Amino acid sequence: MTAADAPVGRTAPGWVAGRAVTVLALRQTWRGALVVTGLAAGMSAVAVAAYGSTVKNPADAAALAALAGNPAIRTLFGEPVALDDAGGFAVWRTGTVLTVVLAVWGLLAATRITRGEEDSGRWDVLLAGRVPVTSVVARHLAVLVAASLLAGAAAFAGLVAAGATAGGAAVHSAGLGLCGVVFVAVGTMTAQVFASRASASGAAVVVLGVSMLLKMAGDGVAAWGWLRWLSPFGLMALTRAYDGNRTWPLLVLAAAGLALATGAATAARGRDIRGGYLRSPSGRAPRMRLLGSVQAFAVRRLVRPLAAWTLGVGAYYLLIGVLVVSMTDFLTDNPRFADLAAQAGFTGLGTLQGYTATLFTLLAVPAGVFAAVRLAAFAADETGRRLTLLYAQPLTRTKALTSEITATLAGVIVLTTAAGFATWAGARAVGADLSLLPALSGAWNVLPIVLLCLGTGVLALGWAPRAVAAISSLPAAGGFLLNVIADSSGWPAWAGRLSPFAHMAAVPADPVNWPAAVLMTALAALTAAAGVAGYRLRDLRG
């Protein structure tokens, strides 16, 4: 009997269709899950291994604890816990970074494989079958939850394999995995509330940013410590791995994740397909601004995301500026602490210029990821057929892509300028002697790395459009991780120099490394040109 002759009720049993949906979710997420799992294991193991060279005796551990006890350090890097233990040092060194990486991946993956797939119409036939939308959403959510817990287990394996004790590793890895689960559920929930992937992702990122700010406030000001109970990041810190190993925060995290996940799956039932609970009003007047040319249209697409990114990055660097006096005064009075900070990876923090230069280095990561996200959005619009009518107009695809590149480049310049201005404003508010031009120079110093992200993103758009976000983020995110790991683990010098961060000067403490900046810019231009050529040659959605 053929499939066409089979009785309708037996063609696709519910459990078979459900299993197919689970396999679909696995196919869409396994690469990203593999990356974050490897990062969790690798960074945890490297941090434990670096403990021996950073903290050579109990006196060094006490000195490092005193350094991290400074409110500015606690605000920026988290409250220090059990720094006399290799595992505690590793948790303080990598815990926040890994948690943010896992959270960002989880929420973006959730909005991509749920709202993104539904919004593009690829769920239409799927939802016309035997599997209801609630089950489809729940199965995608379950796959991402399993991936987050796997990343936590990988962190446990990395810590224990490198020599850390298992008790604290278990608490830390459980907090890491559960924090990822919470943000996976947040992304899935916003995907039900909003009718577009961009809005859902933006709302989830806002939740992440507010959660991070609550943790920073609770870490930096003792009277505000209770704020950490309102943040997944803060709850993870309250577990105090290797120093008490508290389980109550883990139970709160688990309950929050379960409640959000259940709510997201339930919310899927009460909305229309391709719709959300919040939709743009259908009766509003048309908005014709910035629709007169393809260049203006690229700017129109950029304005809202750029405003959100600028607000978040600007707030962080305003805080950096406000803390500059507290940080530098403490380290000037305690040079031994400055030495230990340098060994822990925070070099040059003892002077105002060195402090700002060190923190500006981090700016390359969000600025590079911003460029990657914008190019990935362009690729998604093409795949979702939202550019079809545009390309039917009398214009070339090269012109449309060039307009998108130009707008993204302008956005990157605005973002870095806002960071430099915010740092200067914060420093001036507390009476620090930081001029505007040095602050802007330190922020603009990361532009060559961001241009590499833009160039590799265009290259991926032309030749591997399904991997634009990952490839475009490599120079910034991958380069930063390579630089940190190479410095911490004693890798050969040539390995560390593969990172573009190894060729950045500490501006404004040092002059700009112009040869390296020019070389990276030229390399970015070459990769972008190769990407534009590939884009012209391939088919739409190819």
Q: What is the dihedral of CA 279, 285, 289, 295, to 10 degrees?
A: 50
The burial of 134, by beta-carbon neighbours within 10 Å (0-12 exposed, 13-18 middle, 19 or more buried), is given as: middle
pLDDT at position 319 over 80: yes
Q: Determine how many CB atoms are found less than 10 A away from the CB of residue 125.
A: 8
- Span of 125-129, 241-245, 265-269 with lowest mean pLDDT: 125-129
Convert the pLDDT of each residue in 491-500 to its tens digit.
Answer: 777 888 899 9
The answer as to whether 12 is a domain residue is no
What is the pLDDT at residue 132? 87
Contact 63, 109 (CB under 8 A): no
Neighbouring residues of 232: CB distance < 8 A, sequence distance ≥ 6: 103, 178, 179, 182, 183, 211, 253, 256
The answer as to whether 120 is a domain residue is yes
- Mean pLDDT confidence for 373-388: 82
- Span of 20-24, 262-266, 492-496 with lowest mean pLDDT: 492-496
The answer as to whether 39 is a domain residue is yes
Percent of the chain with pLDDT over 70: 87
What is the pLDDT at residue 165? 93
- Mean pLDDT confidence for 119-138: 83
What is the pLDDT at residue 22? 92
Q: How many CA atoms lie within 13 A of 77 on its CB side?
A: 23
For residue 86 the two structure tokens come to: 């290799």
> C-alpha 420: how far from its chain's center?
21
Residue 168 has phi, psi (to 5 degrees) of: -65, -35
User: 166-193 vs 248-267: helix axis angle to the nearest 10?
Assistant: 20
Contact 242, 93 (CB under 8 A): no
The answer as to whether 481 is a domain residue is no
The answer as to whether 195 is a domain residue is yes
The answer as to whether 483 is a domain residue is no
Percent of the chain with pLDDT over 90: 47
Structural domains of the chain, count: 1
CA distance 363 to 361: 5
Q: What is the identity of the amino acid at 192?
A: Q
Ordered DSSP codes for 26-86: HHHHHHHHHHHHHHHHHHHHHHHHHHHHH--SHHHHHHHHHHHTSHHHHHHH-----TTSH
Q: Range of 61's domain?
A: 17-277
CA distance 457 to 463: 10
The answer as to whether 136 is a domain residue is yes
The answer as to whether 327 is a domain residue is no
CA distance 200 to 84: 42
